Amino acid sequence: MRQTDNGGSGWRTLRGAATWCWLLFALPTQATSSLLFIGNSFTFGWGSPVQFYRAQTVTDLNGSGIGGVPALFKVFTLEAGQDWAVFLETQPGVGMDWHYAHRRELLTSRPWDHVTMMGYSLLDRAKPGDPALLVQSAPQLAALLHGVNPRVDIQLEATFPRADQLYAVTGPWLGKGVDAMVHDIRAGYDLAAVTHPAIHGVVAVGEAWARAMRSGVADANPYDGLEPGKLDLWTYDHYHASAFGYYLKALMMFGHFTGLDPRTLGAGECAAYELGFSPAQASALQQVAFEQLASAGRVKPAAALPAVDRPAADRPAQRCPAG
């Protein structure tokens, strides 16, 4: 994404952003915690450069060479001075029932400290909008993970909405708008969250997307064209996310699990820089994530925040180091 202005300050800001990332990576780290992502294409970043982003920084239990949203989370934690061991187990187009049926050996290969897991994007592929399968499979997976580590912290992920289901495909949400689908998906996850004591909460990814659209950061309907100045959180199939959408999801994971204000990552955040976001775009998505997390009491405002779009012409451009 090109940055232009009359004085070239946008380019200087981006050049400085990489150096700022490098400095953040040098912060001291805390003791390692493990986090396992269990999911599908919404986790591994299908349809965007996020899919194979920094795959070497995380452990793909299936050996598929995927970085995805877990790698974004890993970068954020390194920038925040924390040391998380991040793992993922993904399969496209499936829900938690599939992982329970086919990946029990992998999922019990070690005692995870934290786990985030999600079902299929429609709750049930065969019965869109019906939470019964999710409610059945979530406690099965939770019991499996709890058996290896009785102190495991499991958080479900209420997935982001699908534009194709809202505007192009006959189904329960056609013509009802983003908020309706987000509400129904979240309601299903709330039902699943009370099925096992190891499930401690729900990451409100879909609600963050809806908030981005209500606040004017993101466009709510990619089928009628992209409104000037707004981001498209979906990729070209209007089903999966774009890099912007996966970035917002990863910010929600970061704040939810660490309790840190996502805005502390700053406009020059490392992954945003490497993915080609402008400083303003990174800041806008961080603000949305903060507002959503704060509304649920997951984070508190940081005492101090990095300056936004601060000129940094005196800093040489450097790449973010490997995690």
DSSP secondary structure letters along 24-68: HHTS-----EEEEEEESHHHHTTTSGGGGTTGGGSEETT-----H
pLDDT at 195 over 70: yes
Higher pLDDT, 310 or 188: 188
- pLDDT per position as a tens digit, 233-268: 999 999 999 999 999 999 999 999 999 999 999 999
Q: Reduce the DSSP state of residue 140 to 3 states and report it.
A: helix
Q: Are 120 and 68 in contact (CB under 8 A)?
A: no
Cα–Cα distances (Å) from 296 to 63, 191, 199, 203, 290, in that order, read: 35, 17, 17, 10, 10
Cα–Cα distances (Å) from 163 to 129, 218, 239, 240, 319, in that order, read: 15, 13, 6, 9, 35
- pLDDT per position as a tens digit, 254-303: 999 999 999 999 999 999 999 999 999 999 999 999 999 999 999 999 99
Question: What band does 308 get if pLDDT is binned at 50, 70 and 90?
Answer: low
What tokens were used for 15? 């050049």
Q: Which domains does the chain have, with CATH numbers?
A: 28-295 (3.40.50.1110)
Q: Of 35, 8, 29, 17, which is closest to residue 81 (Cα–Cα)?
A: 29
Cα–Cα distances (Å) from 270 to 21, 104, 185, in that order, read: 5, 35, 31
Q: Are 178 and 218 in contact (CB under 8 A)?
A: no
CA trace torsion 177, 193, 41, 145 (10° rounding): 180
The predicted structure's pLDDT at residue 323 = 61
pLDDT at 82 over 80: yes
Give me the mean pLDDT over the 307-321 stretch.
44
Q: Which residue has the tokens 């790449």?
A: 319
The predicted structure's pLDDT at residue 32 = 86
Residue 239 DSSP one-character state: S
Residue 307 DSSP one-character state: P
pLDDT at 313 over 90: no
In the chain, pLDDT over 90 holds for what percent of residues? 84
Handedness of CA 288, 294, 296, 298 (dihedral sign): positive
For residues 161 and 193, give the distance between their C-alpha atoms in angstroms, rounded to a whole number.
19
